[in-house]
């Protein structure tokens, strides 16, 4: 029996008053554990699509079902609780809180979810350490470089080991070394069974992490390629260049639904 889809989007449109539709009759199904790259020109609706999936916004028409829950019908409270429990989101523009330290920013989702503080602290240290920003834990985001902020945003999104990770240009501000680190991390997350929705302009990222690529144009799916455009051979969840990053530190850090023991 096929598992129910992790995400089932049926014919959604999104219209902001006055403007043309940001999304126009888009349908999309994502299987559990799948890793999906979303590409497309600027303004094609990629960020809007992620917002719909996260329940941050509601479609004008159509339905969005995530893990069997109609997120487009959740009220604000239920949507917040749903995000807290299931979804990690890396924003295109980081969206860190300027008044909180890096550590407090990363801890926030765990604190809202009620994770015991010692466990949350250990988890945050682990993520920040892996991403190479541990020494900035006590600093405020205003002092960090763009790339450092992006890594903090990644750490925050992974804090609650979300079953679904939504990443909007997670490597947009990173140099190639840091980008590779994030790429490995995402690959490891996906390898642990977490579903991954990845918006990117970075062909390397799409190639190495995604088993499927969806191209948006004018708010609808223009092309849907099972299997990476660049590497047809890989069709399963095996995201990543090789197994080392996954089995190494990455496995420990991501520690998905079935955490890898040390």
Partner 1 sequence: MNPAGPLARVVLAGVGRRRAQASVVALTTLLAVTASVLALGLIAGSRAPFDRAFAAQHGAHLTVQFDATKVTAARLAATGSAAPVAQAAGPFPVAELRPRIVGGPPGLPVGLGLPSLTVVGRNQPDSGPDSIDQVAVIEGRWATNRGEIVLDPDSLPPSLLGARLQLPDLPGAPVLTVVGLAHSAGGSARAWVAPDALAAFVSRDVPAGLQMLYRLTAAGTENAIDSGRAAISAGMPAGAVTGTRSYLDVRAGALVRTAVFTPFVAAFGVLGLAMSVLIVGTVVAGGVGATIWRTGVLRSLGLTPAQAAGAHVAQVLVPATGGVGLGILCGNLLAMVVFDGSAAAYGAVAPSVPLWVDAAVGAGALALVAVAALLPALHAGRRSPVDAMRLGRVPRPGRGRWAGRLAARLPLPRPLSLGLAHPFARPARSGVLAVAVGFGALGVSFAVGLATTLDSIAADNSRDEAGEVVVSTHVRVAHGPKSGAAAPGPAQAPVAAGEVADAGDAADVAKVIAAQPGTARFFTSAHAEVYALGIVGPVTVTAHTGDSSWGARPMISGDWFRGPGEAVADTRFLDETGAGIGDTVTVTDHGVSVALRIVGEVFDLDDDTVDLATDETSLRGLDLGLAVDSFNIDLRPGTDLVRYVDTLQDALASHPAVVRANLEEGSEVIAVMDALIASLTLLLVVVAGLGVLNTVVLDTRERVHDLGVVKAVGMTPRQVLAMVLTSAGGIGVCAAAMGVPAGVALHHRVVPLMGTAARTGMPRAYIDVYGPVAAALLVLGGLLIAVLGALVPAGWAAGTRATTALRAE
Contact residues for ligand ATP, defined by CB under 6 A: 16, 19, 22, 40, 42-48, 92
Q: CA-based Rg of the chain, rounded to a whole angstrom?
A: 17
Phi-psi region of 158 (alpha: psi -120 to 50; beta: other; left: phi over 0): alpha
What minimum distance in Å lies between the beta carbon of 143 and ligand ATP? Answer: 26
Q: Does 93 bind partner 1 (CB under 8 A)?
A: yes
Are the C-beta atoms of residues 136 and 59 closer than 8 Å to each other? no
Alpha-carbon distances of 259 from 65, 247, 251, rounded to whole Å: 26, 12, 8
What minimum distance in Å lies between the beta carbon of 153 and Mg ion? Answer: 14
In this complex, which beta carbon is closest to partner 1, that of residue 99 or of residue 232? 99
| Helix, strand, coil percent content, the chain, rounded in steps of 5 | 40, 25, 40
Could you please report the per-residue DSSP string of 104-128? HHHHHHHHHHT--HHHHHHHHHHHH
The one among 35, 47, 65, 254 contacting Mg ion by CB under 5 A: 47
In this complex, which beta carbon is closest to partner 1, that of residue 32 or of residue 140? 140
In this complex, which beta carbon is closest to ligand ATP, that of residue 24 or of residue 204? 24
Are the C-beta atoms of residues 243 and 250 closer than 8 Å to each other? no
Could you please report the per-residue DSSP string of 125-149? HHHHHHTT-GGGTTS-GGGS-HHHH
- List, in sequence order, the alpha helices (H) in the chain: 46-53, 76-86, 102-113, 117-130, 146-158, 176-191, 203-209, 243-245, 251-254
What are the helix and strand counts (H, E) for the chain?
9, 10
What minimum distance in Å lies between the beta carbon of 19 and partner 1? Answer: 13
The one among 91, 136, 154, 219 contacting partner 1 by CB under 8 A: 91
Residues 75-134 that bind Mg ion (CB under 5 A): 92
The one among 68, 98, 118, 261 contacting partner 1 by CB under 8 A: 98
Q: Does 51 bind Mg ion (CB under 5 A)?
A: no
In this complex, which beta carbon is closest to Mg ion, that of residue 92 or of residue 95? 92
The span of 64-72, 111-119, 189-197, 208-216 binding partner 1 (CB under 8 A) equals 111-119
Rounded to whole angstroms, how far apart are CA atoms 126 and 174?
A: 20
Alpha-carbon distances of 191 from 22, 65, 178, 200, rounded to whole Å: 32, 23, 20, 19
89 binds, among Mg ion, ligand ATP, partner 1, none (CB under 5 to 8 A by kind): partner 1
The span of 3-11, 32-40, 54-62, 199-207 binding partner 1 (CB under 8 A) equals 54-62
Q: How far is CA 166 from the centre of its chain?
A: 2
What minimum distance in Å lies between the beta carbon of 76 and partner 1? Answer: 5
Residues 128-187 that bind partner 1 (CB under 8 A): 140, 142, 156
Binding site for partner 1 (CB under 8 A): 51, 54, 56-58, 76-77, 80-81, 83-85, 89, 91, 93, 95-101, 104, 108-109, 111-113, 140, 142, 156
Binding site for Mg ion (CB under 5 A): 47, 92
């Amino acid at each position: 029996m096929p598992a129910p889809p992790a995400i089932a989007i049926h014919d959604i449109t999104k219209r902001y008053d006055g403007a043309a539709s940001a999304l126009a009759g888009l349908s999309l199904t994502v299987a559990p554990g799948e890793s999906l790259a979303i590409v497309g020109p600027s303004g094609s609706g990629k960020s809007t699509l992620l917002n719909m999936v996260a329940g941050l916004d509601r479609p004008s028409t159509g339905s969005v079902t995530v893990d069997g829950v109609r997120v487009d019908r959740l009220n604000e409270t239920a949507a917040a609780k749903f995000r807290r429990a299931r979804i990690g989101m890396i924003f295109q523009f980081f969206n860190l809180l300027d008044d909180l330290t890096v550590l407090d920013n990363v801890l926030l989702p765990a604190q809202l979810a009620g994770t015991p503080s010692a466990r949350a602290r250990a988890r945050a240290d682990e993520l920040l350490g892996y991403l190479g920003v541990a020494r900035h834990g006590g600093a405020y985001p205003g002092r960090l470089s763009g790339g450092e902020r992006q890594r903090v945003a990644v750490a925050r999104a992974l804090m609650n080991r979300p079953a679904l990770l939504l990443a909007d240009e997670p490597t947009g501000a990173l140099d190639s070394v840091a980008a590779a680190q994030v790429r490995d991390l995402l690959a490891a997350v996906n390898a642990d069974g977490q579903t991954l929705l990845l918006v990117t302009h970075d062909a390397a990222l799409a190639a190495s992490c995604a088993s499927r690529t969806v191209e948006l144009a004018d708010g609808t799916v223009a092309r849907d390629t099972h299997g990476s455009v660049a590497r047809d051979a890989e069709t399963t969840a095996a995201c990543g260049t090789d197994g080392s990053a996954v089995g190494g530190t990455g496995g420990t850090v991501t520690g998905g639904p079935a955490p890898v023991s040390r």
